[in-house]
């Protein structure tokens, strides 16, 4: 059990210092925009459409970065 706990702690520490790639940052932003667009879709369709368009632009950036690899 102690050995497993040390492994978990080491994994957590590694994640703290791991650099987040640009694609990972954009994916997080994309998901947040889609979630916000979905929430807005029930109250303000126009704002929801704006968030969807913004999410689409982020998705295009992601695809561009992934195609350059």
CA–CA dist 25, 54 (Å, integer): 15
User: What is the pLDDT at residue 46?
Assistant: 96
Q: Tokens in use for 24?
A: 């990972």
User: What is the pLDDT at residue 54?
Assistant: 97
Query: Domain spans of the chain?
Result: 19-67
pTM: 0.72
CA distances from 50 to 12, 29, 38 (A): 37, 15, 11
CA–CA dist 5, 68 (Å, integer): 39
Q: Tokens in use for 68?
A: 């350059």
Average pLDDT of adjacent 10-residue blocks, the chain of 69 residues: 59 63 92 96 95 96 89
Cβ neighbours of residue 37 under 8 Å, at least 6 residues apart? Answer: 48, 49, 51, 52, 55
């Amino acid at each position: 059990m102690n050995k497993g706990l040390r492994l978990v702690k080491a994994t957590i520490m590694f994640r703290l210092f791991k650099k987040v790639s640009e694609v990972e940052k954009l994916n997080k932003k994309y998901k947040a925009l889609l979630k916000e667009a979905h929430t807005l879709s029930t109250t303000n369709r126009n704002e929801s459409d704006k968030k969807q368009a913004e999410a689409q632009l982020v998705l295009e950036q992601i695809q561009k970065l992934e195609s350059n690899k």
